[in-house]
Every structure is written in C-alpha cells, then in structure tokens.
Amino acid sequence: MKETPSLRERKKAETRKRISDHGSMLFYERGFDEVTIGEIAEAADVSKVTVFNYFPRKEDIFFDRIPELVDLVTETVRGRRPGEPVLSALRDMLVRHAREGHPLGGIDDRFVHFFRVVIGSAALRARAREIADELEAVLAALIDESGEGLPGRLTAAMLVGAFRSAYLTAAARQLAGERAAGVLADHVAAVDLAFEVLERGLAGT
C-alpha cells in the first residue's frame, strides 16, 4: 500500500505539516480568531497563497485530522469481526479510544487546550458541528450497507447526537478544571448508557 513516498509527495506532506503545526501552535497561544492566515504563512515560511493551496478554509488548518476520524469509523464498521453487530463494534472502539487517551478520543489532560481553542471561536464551533454532520452521513451509509436491517439515518442521528453530547459534557468538565481521570469514568458510563438505550430501542424494529 505505502510504497512510493516520492520526493514530491514527501515535500508536499512536509509543507502541509509545517503549515498545520505552526498554525496550531499560534492558535493555541492566542486563539483561533486572533491569528491571521498571513501570520501562519510567515511562521511556516510559506506564501499566503500556499496556505490556501493546502487548506481551502482557515478552520481546516486546525481540524487537520478529521479525515482520519472518518477512516476510523469506516474501518471499525467494515472491519468488524464476522457476525459482530455494528453497534457493538462502534461501542468498543469508542470506549477503547477514550480509555487510551487517543487523540481523537478526546479524554486526556492534553486536550484541554484543544477544547479551549475550539470553544473560544465561533468559526471552529461551527465547523465542528459541520463535521459531526458529515460523520453522521457516513455512518448512516455504513449502517445501511451492513445488512443488519437497522434504519441507518435514524440510528446514526441518535448515535452521533448522543455521543457528541457526552463528548461535550466531558470536555466542559475538563475545561472547568477536573482531571481527565475523574471525567473518564463518567464519560464511559454515558457512552455505555447511550448504546444501551439505542440498542434496546432498536431491538423491536
């Protein structure tokens, strides 16, 4: 799969990373809205146009790893053990990532700063909601194609809604000063509850 990291590709990846890294660093220091594209370009030693070349919108510089998140969900569903229900595969994945403090899981002391930046910017909050929508659509399609007979749209909407709510609650508590360790237990419980409700509710369909 990964065989030709041709020089061109490597340089591109490196430039992209440099922009994203310098951008994120500035955002962490001063907040999303207080940093201009020009400053990022300068910090990354790149022209302003090049920034837009890699990131069509400013928000994408910060939310750089979303594609990985979509892939993660897709792989979780498509690559589940034969016979395992979609929902149980998703539940396991989500709980595991939270427990391991995986970057995309979100429950970890390091991510307080990440949350602070997002909460502090209307543009980033808006983009985050948009991303949740995209995830919901992907998930709905995956559920439909899984052949378990679940109503994809409804299931995805409820699941994304519930998880997002739990995630935000956990983030708010961490922002309020609680340590990740303390928040984690409740968060896992909230996720478990969400899946229980969903599974029980869908059982009679």
Partner DNA sequence: GCGAAAACTATACCCGACTAAATTTTGAGT
Partner DNA sequence: ACTCAAAATTTAGTCGGGTATAGTTTTCGC
Residues binding DNA (CB under 7 A): 6-9, 11-12, 15, 35-38, 45-50, 52-54, 56-58
Choice between 26 and 159, CB closer to a second copy: 159
Choice between 13 and 126, CB closer to a second copy: 126
Question: Least CB distance from residue 34 to a second copy, whole Å?
Answer: 20
What are 129's two structure tokens? 């909601």
Choice between 6 and 205, CB closer to a second copy: 205
Q: Pick one of a second copy, DNA, none as the site partner of residue 48 (Cβ within 5 to 8 A by kind).
A: DNA
| For the chain, counts of helices (H) and of strands (E) | 10, 0
Going by the DSSP 8-state scheme, the letter that residue 120 receives in this structure is T
How far are the Cα atoms of 9, 56, 76, 83, 126 from residue 29, in angstroms, in the given order? 30, 23, 35, 48, 21
The phi and psi torsions of 184 (rounded to 5 degrees) equal -55, -50
Of 18, 132, 118, the residue nearest 59 (C-alpha): 118
Question: Least CB distance from residue 132 to DNA, whole Å?
Answer: 19
Looking at residue 75, its amino acid is E
Q: Which residues bind a second copy (CB under 8 A)?
A: 125-126, 129-130, 133, 136, 151, 153-154, 156-158, 160-162, 164-166, 169, 190, 193-194, 196-205
